[in-house]
Amino acid sequence: MATSISWARGSLLQAEQLIPCVSFLFTLLLFTVSTGSASPIGVPDLQQCEPAMDVSPTNQTMMLTLNCCLPIPAHKPRVFSFHKYKSKPRVRQAAHTVSDAYIAKYTRAYELMKALPDDDPRSFHTQAKIHCAFCNFAYRQAGNTSVPLQVHFSWLFLPWHRWYLYWHERILQSLLGDPTFTLVFWNWDDQRDGGNVMPAMFVPNGTALYDRNRNQNNLPPALVKLSPTTTGNDSVEIVNQNLNDMYRDVVTATTAELFMGDAYRTGTDITNSTVITAPLEGLIEGGVHNGIHYWTGDPNLTLMQDMGTFTTASRDPIFYAHHSNVDRLWDKWKYDLPGGPRADHNDSDFLDAEFYFYDEKARLVKVTVRDALDNSKLGISYPSVAADELWVNYDPPVMSNGSAVEAARAVGVATMGAAPQNGTIFLGSGRSAIVKAPSFPPSTTTKATVLVIQGLQVTRRSFVSLTAFVNLPSANALTDTSTAEYLGTFNIIPTASIKYSHLTTNVMFEISNNMQRIGITHEHEVVITMVVTGVEPVSIQGLLIENV
């Protein structure tokens, strides 16, 4: 299987490409208009597959064609049911805790999968292409073929990846002849008990779990950094910033919109959206999940392959362990945080969305989001992880002292309103703005108070991160992100595509927890500071803080 991107002028190559996928949004308008319309995503026509044509980001005369088109089995697709696909209950263990014997079995499973012919739906080659196909716009939406299909940047992200792992695991079980075999999870959020390094089982060169396209500076014992903007080299600094990223992306992300992302229905076009029509990417996806992709990929390669770009990410066996942890965190978010259970979306366009995968007999199966929402029905569970408590109970220190608004105004920081009030504002390496705060206390029906960065526009030629702070106008790219002023980081993965490189999206961060800790909940205005890292120009169209 090819492990790098190949470029050639005007020729059709079995290469690949990258498309990040991003999008975002939340406006009451969209919410009101779209609720109730029945337009769930349906399974695409696999015959209508589009190889993508791109130019090299470093050499505009070089063309790339990438083919993520999936094999089409001769038989009619099956429809999933729990009755047809019984699963033995099994517990996925943390990668750094499994025995040598288990690592040997795991390695054997991937050897068998990699030994299958490329066109076998169960082969590692095809398994990797599945992710590429649904990230890289190989197919069109069933109900609106003018719009390409994408499973990232919205509420589809978590359930699609849960199914992806489920079928991948069933195939590995079947190849081993062991229905109790499970994937491991890369416990990168564990900042105490050994999870926050690249798991040793994936490191030795030459095994089926190895991938050479990784950041060679991040092999053990390098500590994981959950955001590209994590600063400092000191382990205490890194650990505290990691804990705050987890706290922000999971604990304070109390609503389904914040954590999972928001609506993606037939007709939603993430490649060509406006402020009003862009879907909203969840914090777990745009934050720590993208952070690990960035940390693992090889920065010596143009698009940080393999993990650093979605098209090639799943060619690294560590991908499946990474996503098992994302899947574990979804359960943690839902069932096991202070304040009681949290609710997934319950919109019928979410529940009725459909996907295709291949089963362990290489047959196409149609599944729904509805059937992915309860891991126990799929036989999957995770052990309780003691070190979760570190981020669940993280107590970010407050750096600022009272409202920073007057001081900011005195040095010329302007106010910024909701789109379209201020038009397009170029951010450069960042900027501060004074933003109106919503009424306090919020009404009893308010679920969260959020900052919406509206109409963010970027050309995705390289990795870009936008980190936001409240009440810290001096913040810059070197600012420690372990504090109560840190709102979160939104990571934009690069693409080489001309056709799909432009992005307009909205970004949402929870803000009330920060304002309470800082003691500025009664203020009528707050200072928001956005720090941009990367070389691509970034602009926005408005800032809005609202109770939702």
Ligand X SMILES: *[C@@H]1O[C@H](CO)[C@@H](O)[C@H](O)[C@H]1NC(C)=O
Q: Are 288 and 245 in contact (CB under 8 A)?
A: yes
Among the listed residues 32, 99, 384, 401, the single contact to ligand X using CB under 6 A: 401
Nearer to ligand X, 32 or 61 (CB): 61
Among the listed residues 267, 438, 442, 519, the single contact to ligand X using CB under 6 A: 267
Residues between 412 and 471 with contacts to ligand X, criterion CB under 6 A: 414-417, 421-422, 425
One of 125, 322, 323, 345 is an active-site residue; which one?
323
Nearer to ligand X, 31 or 440 (CB): 31
- Phi, psi angles (nearest 5°) of residue 427: -90, -25
Q: Are 141 and 149 in contact (CB under 8 A)?
A: yes
Give the span between the Cα atoms of 220 and 196, in whole angstroms.
Answer: 9
Nearer to ligand X, 169 or 298 (CB): 298
Q: b/e per residue, 297-315, with b = 16+ CB within 10 A?
A: bbeebbbbbbbbbbbbbbb
Give the Cβ contact number of residue 200 at 10 Å: 14
Shortest Cβ 272–ligand X spacing (Å): 4
Nearest by Cα to 246 from 388, 383, 92, 344: 388
Among the listed residues 47, 146, 384, 443, the single contact to ligand X using CB under 6 A: 146
Would you count residue 73 as binding ligand X (CB under 6 A)? no
293 in catalytic set: yes
Output the residue with the shortest Cβ distance to ligand X. Answer: 216
Among the listed residues 35, 81, 300, 429, the single contact to ligand X using CB under 6 A: 300
Would you count residue 348 as binding ligand X (CB under 6 A)? no
Would you count residue 524 as binding ligand X (CB under 6 A)? no
**Which regions of 280-396 does DSSP assign to beta strands (E)?**
354-358, 364-368, 380-381
Shortest Cβ 372–ligand X spacing (Å): 17
Is the backbone peptide bond immediately before 306 cis, with ω within 30 degrees of 0?
Answer: yes
Would you count residue 519 as binding ligand X (CB under 6 A)? no
Residues between 280 and 299 with contacts to ligand X, criterion CB under 6 A: 298-299
Nearer to ligand X, 194 or 417 (CB): 417
Shortest Cβ 217–ligand X spacing (Å): 4
Would you count residue 212 as binding ligand X (CB under 6 A)? yes
H helical segments located in 355-479: 388-392, 405-410
End-to-end CA distance of the chain: 47
Nearer to ligand X, 267 or 442 (CB): 267
One of 161, 168, 322, 345 is an active-site residue; which one?
161
Q: Are 214 and 316 in contact (CB under 8 A)?
A: yes
Shortest Cβ 513–ligand X spacing (Å): 20
Residues between 7 and 66 with contacts to ligand X, criterion CB under 6 A: 9, 59, 61-62
310 in catalytic set: yes
11's CB contacts (< 8 A; 6+ apart) are: 63, 65
x-or-dash string of contact with ligand X, 467-506, rule CB under 6 A? --------------------------------x-------
Nearer to ligand X, 363 or 499 (CB): 499
H helical segments located in 431-534: 512-518
Query: In terms of DSSP bridges, do strands 380-381 and 90-91 run parallel, antiparallel, or are they unpaired?
Result: parallel
Find where tokens 């599944």 sit.
Answer: 367
Nearest by Cα to 504 from 275, 169, 259, 187: 275
161 in catalytic set: yes
- Phi, psi angles (nearest 5°) of residue 319: -55, -45
Nearer to ligand X, 165 or 540 (CB): 540
Shortest Cβ 344–ligand X spacing (Å): 9
Is the backbone peptide bond immediately before 420 cis, with ω within 30 degrees of 0?
Answer: yes
Q: Which structure tokens are listed for 265?
A: 């229905």
**Which regions of 68-154 does DSSP assign to beta strands (E)?**
78-79, 90-91, 140-141, 144-148
Give the span between the Cα atoms of 388 and 392, in whole angstroms.
Answer: 6
**Which regions of 186-247 does DSSP assign to beta strands (E)?**
none
185 in catalytic set: no
One of 131, 168, 322, 345 is an active-site residue; which one?
131
Among the listed residues 13, 43, 53, 147, the single contact to ligand X using CB under 6 A: 147
Give the span between the Cα atoms of 169 and 378, in whole angstroms.
Answer: 11
Among the listed residues 32, 47, 99, 233, the single contact to ligand X using CB under 6 A: 233
Nearer to ligand X, 272 or 381 (CB): 272
Nearer to ligand X, 177 or 206 (CB): 206
Would you call 34 helix, strand, or coil by DSSP?
helix
Footprint of ligand X (CB under 6 A): 9, 59, 61-62, 144, 146-147, 205-206, 212, 215-217, 233, 267, 269, 271-272, 298-300, 343, 346, 401-402, 414-417, 421-422, 425, 499
Active-site annotation, residues: 131, 152, 161, 289, 293, 310, 323
